[in-house]
C-alpha cells in the first residue's frame, strides 16, 4: 500500500513539472525564424543605399540657374550605377552641367539646372539604377520642392488711388516770364561751359576682328597629364580621384577630337564607338586598359598600390605617343575647320562693321 502511494505521488509530481504548451505554439515557433530572416533581409536592403538631396536656394524664378545636389551612400558593390539624366527631370528643368564625385562614403551628383516653369512645380521624383549582373535595383530619390517667385510683384502692380485735382492760377503771365528767365539762364550757362558739358567727340576707331586661336586637343591632353603628375606626386595615397581624373582627360580628348559624348558614355560605349570609327588598334587597347582600371577603382572598390599607379602612368604616356602618330589627320581637319569658321566670322564682322560705320 505504501509502495503504491509512493508511485502515485511520483507520477503526479512528474506531471506537474512538465511544461504546458498552448495550442498553435508549435506553428508559431516554425514561422518565427522565417519572419526574423525577412526582417533581416529588409533591413539589409534598406541600409544598402541611402539618399539625400538639397538645392542651394529657397526661392526660384523663371529662368534662374540653381544647384541641385544628390548624395547616395552606396555600401555594396555594383557593376554599374545609372543616374538621372535630362529626360528624367521633365521639360521645365534643363540640365546645364552635371558632375559626379565619388568618395569612400558614396557618390555625390551635382546638377546645374535652369528652371523654365511658371509655378512652384517641384523637382520630380527621380530614380537611380543599380546593376548587379542580370539584376537591376532602383532607388527612389524623393521630389524636391521650392518656393516659386514671380517676376511681377503683385503689390507693386496694384492700381494706386488718384490724387485730388488742384486748381491753377488763371493769370499765366508771371509763370511765362519766370520760365523765359530760367530758360535764358540755362542757355547762357550751357554756352559758357559748353566745353565741359559737351566735350569734342573724337572719331571712333575702326574695330578690328580678333580671331580666336586654334586649341589643339592633343596639347590639352598633354597639359592635363602633366598637371595630374604635379597634383598627385604619390597617386596611390589618393588613388580614387587620381584614376577618376586620369580617365576623364582621355575621355575629354576623344570627345573633342572625334566629336561624340565620351564624357557622358560608359567605358564600353567609348571603346565600341572608337572601333566603329576604325580607330587604331593599339590606341583602343591602351585606352581600354586605362578605363577598365579606373572603373575597377571607382565601382569595384579596387585598391591599387604604388606600382599599379606608376604602371598606369606609363601606359598613359604610351597612349599619348601613339595618338600623336595616328591622329595627325584628325587634328589637321579640326584645324582647317576652325580656320574656315574664323574666316566666316571675320567676313560677317566686316559686313556688320561696314554697315555700322556707314
Q: Structural domain boundaries of the chain?
A: 48-148, 217-333
pLDDT at position 290 is: 93
Q: What is the DSSP letter of 50?
A: E
Cβ neighbours, 10 Å, residue 124: 15
Question: Which helix or strand (DSSP H or E) is residue 328 part of?
Answer: helix 328-357
pLDDT 10s digits, 156-215: 445 555 556 656 556 677 888 889 989 988 888 888 887 776 776 665 666 777 888 888
- Between the alpha carbon of residue 280 and those of residues 133, 283, 328, 333, the distances in Å are 31, 5, 12, 17
pLDDT at position 268 is: 92
Burial class (CB in 10 A: 0-12, 13-18, 19+), 53: middle
Question: From CA 202, how far away is CA 292, in angstroms rounded?
Answer: 64
Q: Are 87 and 132 in contact (CB under 8 A)?
A: no
Q: How would you write the pLDDT of the chain (358 residues) with one tens digit per residue?
A: 444 333 333 333 334 344 444 455 555 566 665 655 555 444 444 445 688 888 998 888 888 888 988 888 877 777 788 888 878 888 888 898 888 888 777 888 899 988 888 877 888 898 888 888 888 888 888 988 888 887 655 454 455 555 566 565 566 778 888 899 899 888 888 888 877 767 766 656 667 778 888 889 999 999 999 999 999 999 888 888 999 999 999 999 999 999 999 999 999 999 999 999 999 999 999 999 999 999 998 888 889 998 999 999 999 999 999 999 999 999 999 999 988 988 888 888 778 776 554 4
Q: Are 83 and 118 in contact (CB under 8 A)?
A: no
Give the DSSP letter string of 232-252. -SSGGGGHHHHHHHHHHHHHH
- Extract the C-alpha cell encoding 1: 500500500
**Phi and psi of 275, rounded to 5°?**
-65, -40
- Extract the C-alpha cell encoding 17: 513539472
pLDDT at position 170 is: 60
- Between the alpha carbon of residue 152 and those of residues 27, 62, 158, 183, 313, the distances in Å are 69, 11, 11, 41, 57
User: Which pTM does this prediction carry?
Assistant: 0.42
Q: What is the dihedral of CA 236, 244, 99, 334, to 10 degrees?
A: 140
pLDDT at position 280 is: 93
pLDDT at position 8 is: 39
CATH 2.60.40 fits 48-148, yes or no: yes
Residue with grid cell 586649341, as numbered in its chain? 215
B/e letters for 193-218, b = 16+ CB within 10 Å, e = fewer, are eeeeeeeeeeeeeeeeeeeeeeeebb
pLDDT at position 204 is: 60
Nearest Cα neighbor of 291 from 316, 256, 321 is 316
Q: Are 132 and 78 in contact (CB under 8 A)?
A: yes
Amino acid at each position: 500500500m505504501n509502495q503504491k502511494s509512493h508511485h502515485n505521488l511520483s507520477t503526479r509530481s512528474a506531471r506537474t513539472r512538465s511544461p504546458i504548451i498552448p495550442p498553435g505554439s508549435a506553428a508559431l515557433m516554425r514561422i518565427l525564424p522565417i519572419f526574423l530572416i525577412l526582417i533581416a533581409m529588409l533591413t539589409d536592403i534598406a541600409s544598402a543605399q541611402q539618399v539625400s538631396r538639397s538645392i542651394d536656394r529657397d526661392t526660384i524664378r523663371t529662368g534662374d540657374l540653381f544647384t541641385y545636389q544628390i548624395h547616395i551612400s552606396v555600401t555594396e558593390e555594383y557593376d554599374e550605377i545609372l543616374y538621372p539624366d535630362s529626360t528624367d527631370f521633365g521639360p521645365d528643368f534643363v540640365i546645364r552641367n552635371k558632375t559626379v564625385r565619388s568618395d569612400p562614403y558614396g557618390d555625390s551628383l551635382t546638377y546645374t539646372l535652369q528652371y523654365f516653369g511658371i509655378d512652384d512645380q517641384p523637382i520630380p521624383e527621380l530614380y537611380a539604377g543599380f546593376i548587379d549582373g542580370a539584376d537591376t535595383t532602383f532607388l527612389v530619390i524623393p521630389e524636391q520642392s521650392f518656393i516659386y517667385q514671380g517676376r511681377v510683384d503683385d503689390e507693386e502692380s496694384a492700381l494706386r488711388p488718384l490724387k485730388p485735382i488742384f486748381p491753377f492760377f488763371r493769370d499765366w503771365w508771371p509763370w511765362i516770364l519766370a520760365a523765359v528767365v530760367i530758360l535764358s539762364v540755362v542757355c547762357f550757362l550751357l554756352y559758357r561751359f559748353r566745353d565741359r558739358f559737351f566735350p569734342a567727340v573724337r572719331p571712333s576707331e575702326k574695330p578690328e576682328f580678333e580671331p580666336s586661336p586654334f586649341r589643339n586637343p592633343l596639347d590639352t591632353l598633354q597639359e592635363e597629364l602633366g598637371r595630374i603628375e604635379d597634383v598627385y606626386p604619390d597617386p596611390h595615397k589618393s588613388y580614387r580621384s587620381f584614376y577618376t581624373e586620369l580617365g576623364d582627360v582621355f575621355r575629354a580628348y576623344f570627345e573633342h577630337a572625334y566629336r561624340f559624348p565620351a564624357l557622358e558614355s560608359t567605358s564600353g560605349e567609348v571603346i565600341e564607338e572608337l572601333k566603329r570609327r576604325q580607330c587604331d588598334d593599339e590606341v583602343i587597347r591602351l585606352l581600354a586598359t586605362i578605363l577598365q582600371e579606373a572603373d575597377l577603382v571607382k565601382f569595384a572598390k579596387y585598391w591599387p598600390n604604388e606600382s599599379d599607379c606608376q604602371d598606369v602612368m606609363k601606359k598613359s604616356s604610351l597612349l599619348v605617343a601613339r595618338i600623336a602618330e595616328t591622329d595627325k589627320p584628325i587634328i589637321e581637319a579640326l584645324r582647317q575647320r576652325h580656320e574656315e569658321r574664323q574666316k566666316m566670322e571675320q567676313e560677317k564682322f566686316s559686313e556688320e562693321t561696314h554697315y555700322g560705320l556707314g
